[in-house]
Amino acid sequence: MTDIVRRSGGSPGGGGGGSDLAEVVGMILDKGVVIDAHLAVSLVGIRLLTVDARVVVASVDTYLRFAEATNRLDLSASRDKGLPDLVSGGKAGLMEKAGDALGEIVGGGGGRDRDRVPRRRRREEED
Amino acid sequence: MATSSTMDTGSGTGQLLYGLVPADVEVTPQARGLSDPVGPVGMIRHGEVAALVSETPLDVRLGRPEDLLAYRELLDGVAVTGDVPVLPVRFGTVLGSTTAVSELLAVRHDEYKAALAELEGRVEYVVRARYVERALLAGVLAEEPEAADLRDQLRGLPEDAAVELRIRLGEIVAQAVEAHRAADTERLVEALGPYCLADAPLPAHHEQDAARVAFLVERGRRTAFTDAVRDLAETWRDWATMRTIGPTAAWDFVPVTVGR
């Protein structure tokens, strides 16, 4: 019985990290059609486990993390890197990276067994 | 009507709603929804719309990671592999009986049908960009003289000293990051605009998120879209790292207020 709880905070340096389950799951929590109140008499209260969908709210904690990250920044090594470089080279490495990212398909990927998903009955004959 | 829908709720089970689909969809026996004690996936039809449901005991507690993933995967599978438009229903929605589900479909038939027609042949991608920390902070220091001054003042001071100065420095940086995020979100939307039908900027998940945007894409243009993202990722590479999730059901293009 594991509740889904996002780690609060997170250091500015800790970015990047893979597709945490929590991020993927957090994406769907407040989505979807809400069944209207006038049918509420038949809405049944299932107990939902606590799920903390994280929203970034600036706070003193945030400020201190940013200050720390800024203070440890070694400017000498990054002087010419502040802004996006629109004519970057090194294509190969990046394409690889982008390719990896695009490959991280969540749900509904191409590899899914067609039999396992609900599908149209009549359309396939019509097409 | 309300009374009839509550007649058969005494059994201690209800109908968990996953999503709404056109009525000409069928569920294969292998379709996977939530696992035991939630029952197999079934359908309840009314007119041209239908609900994907599972019978569930009312005393179950939902919300384990596998519950959410199963819910998400079923609906993404419907939309992407099944090529069927689907309106996800908010996770954890349970109606008291199959009769109640039928009534819901009857009452909201035309709205659900119209919303499904909007999503026909369309899928969603979410593109997230996260700043390269060094580039971000160096950029902010170059733009904000006060931040650069504070940084100089703080140099060599012990960690617990000058907390107010630290907070002020962090505040300036946080505000600058927010401004960059707004600008970069706009850049992302603008760059991918030609490859999508609609966009929906999403809230940041992380302090260093440069942008998070959902895009509604025509099935036939999926490759054009992902190619465009790849090209964009290349131009942004020193500034932010881009990642794409999708294709999925159109989670962020569902009219949440349908039927309200």
Instruction: Identify which of B167, B254, B255 has the shortest CB distance to residue A64.
Output: B167
Tell me: pLDDT of A105 over 80.
no
Percentage of chain A beyond pLDDT 70 is: 20
Instruction: Identify which of A31, A101, A123 has the shortest CB distance to residue B242.
Output: A101
Residue A23 pLDDT grade (very low, low, confident, very high; cuts 50, 70, 90) = low
- pLDDT-wise least confident of B89-98, B162-171, B239-248: B89-98
Picking from B64, B108, B93, B38, the residue whose alpha carbon sits closest to that of residue A44 is B93
Instruction: Identify which of A78, A108, A120 has the shortest CB distance to residue B79.
Output: A108
Instruction: Give residue A123's pLDDT.
Output: 45
* Cβ separation A102–B230 shorter than 8 A: yes
- With a CB cutoff of 8 Å and minimum separation 6, the contacts of A93 are none
* Cβ separation A73–B134 shorter than 8 A: yes
Tell me: pLDDT of B3 over 70.
no
Tell me: pLDDT of B148 over 90.
yes
Chain A and chain B share a number of CB contacts under 8 A equal to 354
In whole angstroms, give the CA distance from residue A27 to residue A53. Answer: 8
SS3 content of chain A, % helix, strand, coil (to 5): 40, 10, 50
In whole angstroms, give the CA distance from residue B249 to residue B84. Answer: 9
Mode of pairing for the β-strands spanning B25-26 and B61-62: unpaired
Domain ranges, ordered by start, for chain A: 1-73
- pLDDT-wise least confident of A16-30, A100-114, B184-198: A100-114
Tell me: pLDDT of A7 over 90.
no
Q: What is the ipTM of this complex?
A: 0.78
* Cβ separation A104–B245 shorter than 8 A: yes
A interface mutation test: which of B120, B165, B238 has the most A CBs within 10 A? Answer: B238
Percentage of chain B beyond pLDDT 90 is: 69
